[in-house]
Amino acid sequence: MIVEVVMAELFHLPVPRYLEICYGSLLIELCKLQPATMPQVLAQAVELLFDRIDTMNVCCFDRFVNWFGYHLSNFQFKWSWDDWLEAAQLDPMHPRAKFIIEVLLKAMRLSYRQRIAEVVPEQFDCFVPLKPEPVYKFSIDTAGKGVLVS
């Protein structure tokens, strides 16, 4: 019941009553205080939300992505990713596939790409963000003069 109330507050429209990080921190602390029960209850809630993500409001979708990415980053990105393998066969714009893509992007901002690639199954390689490469505003041509690259 606690998880349901916290999630309801997180998804309160048009804006949650408190900062989103408050709800994320609260759920993390609950998981740490009740390690025997709370993580399993929270995992069930996430599965229910994931199953119904097709009908979720866009604002709630974004909050779900932000919270879940933050939550995973606090628990070493451990998740039962294998339960979501069928999403790898979906169109990347399908809500379930899009959710996984967005969560991995969020997770990469809270960690680094190689770590994320190691955590998820190989079937999710299509969801793992591309390796970030530097973009040089100026490059050196053969004459040694700087050339603006656009």
| Residues 32 and 78 sit within 8 Å (Cβ to Cβ) | no
The confidence score (pLDDT) of residue 134 equals: 84
Distance, in Å, from the CA atom of 39 to the CA atom of 133, rounded to the nearest integer, reads 36
The token pair that represents 88 in the structure block: 């790898």
The confidence score (pLDDT) of residue 144 equals: 53
pLDDT tens by residue, 2-34: 899 999 999 999 999 999 999 999 999 999 999
Map tokens 């879940």 to a residue: 68
The confidence score (pLDDT) of residue 4 equals: 92
The confidence score (pLDDT) of residue 142 equals: 53
**CATH number of residue 16's parent domain:** 1.25.40.180
Total domain count, the chain: 1
The confidence score (pLDDT) of residue 1 equals: 87
Distance, in Å, from the CA atom of 115 to the CA atom of 112, rounded to the nearest integer, reads 6
CA distances from 79 to 21, 23, 68, 104, 139 (A): 20, 19, 11, 12, 43
Distance, in Å, from the CA atom of 124 to the CA atom of 104, rounded to the nearest integer, reads 10
- The parent domain of residue 143 ranges over 2-148
Pairing verdict, β 146-148 and 138-140: antiparallel
The token pair that represents 57 in the structure block: 């409001």
- If the chain, 150 residues long, is cut into consecutive pieces of 10 residues, what is the mean pLDDT of each piece? 92 92 94 94 95 94 95 92 90 94 92 90 88 80 54
In the chain, alpha helices (H): 2-10, 20-33, 38-51, 58-73, 95-110, 113-119
What's the residue count for the chain? 150
The confidence score (pLDDT) of residue 37 equals: 93
